[in-house]
């Protein structure tokens, strides 16, 4: 953490983990030692201020991060809308320092606004893009439109189809939108699409040879194409119908299914037989295996009691492993027991969980963060995406 903070130009302040910050009054500093954890709001005995633990933590976070991170990042961390964060910042008096421009900042803007991109000026000055544009309008500044030279057009014509928009923008010192607009004027967009759609003879030969055995996903990965593109090309080559004809179940497949379906489930049998889980489930019903599995997987009263007790804290995956059930079976039973809505309310991320994820996600990865936070990997992925976090590959 200290290493990351030093690179970001921040300072880490260490405090004792048992400091009762949630019990302290932020007005006079008096600590309410008798305050229970379940009591979220109280009145200070010393100064009679009305305090709320959750609001207090959010206010402290806003006071620390609002000026540096802005309303959008604070809103993602606190699970609020930008408008709510901005309104709270106004109440706390945090907006006035944000809109003050120093004389040095104005001089920098006058000097660099016409040549540098707006976002670059905003990053250097620690302002938002809208704030920079508003101040530029107040100062009467306008951006100089830089014409495209012949050399730049030649570079774009030569490298756009291979390098893409981003690399061309960096090489020419242009914005992303500027490159896209110029590409359309030069007529390079359609040409790029034609190159992407064209199928080479060796690609078609590979598809004819491997589509029926490997499927669309593996062929798409091998050829560097999308699944939809592979499926459409297979249909044009007449591979779709022939795949269905060769999809008959052999006697040894039925024997494997009869032996392993009740213990391994549809997903594992599908992976072993090279089929989809839907195809395996359908074949199991034809062979009369579904009724047997329903009898075997009936829920006992003890299993239901375990689910009621642990579902809200452990989640689907842990309960499925403990009860030796599939995740779909656990989800179905939670709906019958009316646990789904309660579980959804307990999935709210706390501020401490979000801060932990922000500090450790990049280096520890999804699985370790999920284990420490007691969350599923999908929940961690979703929250990391909302917070704009990316993990470093190990």
pLDDT in tens, 200-248: 888 888 888 888 888 888 888 888 888 888 888 888 887 764 444 446 7
Cα separation values, 227 from 3, 210, 244, 279, Å = 42, 14, 18, 20
pTM score of the predicted model: 0.25
Average pLDDT rounded to a whole number, residues 94-102: 63
Summarised one tens digit per residue, pLDDT across range 73-91 is 888 888 788 888 887 887 7
**pLDDT given for residue 192 in this prediction:** 45
Length of the chain counted residue by residue: 394
Tokens describing residue 291: 């009724």
Tokens describing residue 277: 């889980």
Q: Three-class SS of residue 52? A: strand
In this structure, is the dihedral angle defined by the CA atoms of residues 270, 323, 357 and 95, taken in order, positive or negative?
positive
Summarised one tens digit per residue, pLDDT across range 328-351 is 888 888 888 877 544 444 567 888
Lowest mean pLDDT among 45-54, 274-283, 288-297: 288-297
Average pLDDT along the chain: 78
**pLDDT given for residue 297 in this prediction:** 58
Q: Which pLDDT band holds residue 40 (cuts at 50, 70, 90)?
A: low
- Round to whole Å and give the CA distance between 165 and 224: 19
Lowest mean pLDDT among 39-48, 145-154, 188-197, 359-368: 188-197
Q: Which pLDDT band holds residue 375 (cuts at 50, 70, 90)?
A: confident
Tokens describing residue 9: 């130009």
């Amino acid at each position: 953490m200290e290493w990351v903070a030093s690179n970001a130009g921040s300072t880490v302040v260490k405090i004792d983990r048992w400091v009762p910050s949630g019990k302290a009054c932020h007005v006079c500093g008096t600590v309410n030692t008798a305050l229970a954890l379940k009591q979220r709001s109280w009145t200070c005995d010393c100064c009679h201020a009305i305090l709320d633990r959750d609001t207090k933590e959010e206010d402290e976070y806003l006071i620390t991060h609002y000026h540096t991170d802005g309303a959008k990042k604070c809103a993602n961390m606190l699970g609020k809308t930008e408008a709510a964060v901005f309104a709270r910042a106004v109440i706390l008096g945090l907006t006035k320092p944000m809109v003050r421009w120093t004389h040095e900042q104005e001089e920098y803007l006058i000097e660099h606004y016409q040549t540098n991109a707006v976002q670059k000026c905003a990053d250097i000055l620690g302002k938002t893009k809208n704030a920079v544009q508003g101040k530029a309008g107040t100062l009467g500044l306008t951006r100089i439109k830089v014409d495209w030279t012949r050399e730049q057009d030649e570079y774009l014509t030569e490298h756009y189809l291979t390098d893409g928009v981003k690399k061309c923008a960096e090489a020419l010192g242009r914005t992303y939108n500027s490159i896209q607009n110029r590409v359309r004027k030069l007529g390079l967009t359609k040409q790029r699409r034609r190159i992407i759609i064209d199928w080479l003879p060796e690609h078609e030969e590979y598809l004819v040879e491997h589509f029926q055995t490997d499927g669309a996903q593996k062929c798409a990965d091998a050829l560097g194409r999308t699944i939809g593109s592979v499926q459409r090309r297979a249909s044009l080559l007449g591979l779709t119908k022939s795949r269905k004809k060769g999809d008959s179940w052999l006697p040894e497949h039925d024997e494997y299914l009869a032996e392993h379906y009740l213990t391994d489930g549809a997903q594992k049998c599908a992976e072993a037989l090279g089929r989809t889980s839907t195809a395996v489930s359908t074949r199991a019903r034809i062979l009369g295996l579904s009724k047997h599995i329903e009898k075997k997987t009936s829920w006992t009263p003890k299993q239901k009691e375990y689910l009621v007790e642990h579902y809200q804290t452990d989640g689907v995956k842990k309960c499925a492993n403990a009860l030796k059930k599939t995740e779909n079976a656990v989800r179905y039973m939670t709906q019958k027991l009316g646990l789904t809505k309660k579980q959804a309310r307990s999935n709210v991320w706390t501020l401490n969980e979000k801060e932990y994820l922000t500090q450790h996600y990049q280096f520890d990865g999804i699985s370790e963060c999920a284990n420490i936070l007691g969350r599923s990997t999908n929940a961690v992925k979703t929250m990391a995406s909302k917070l704009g976090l990316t993990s470093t590959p190990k």
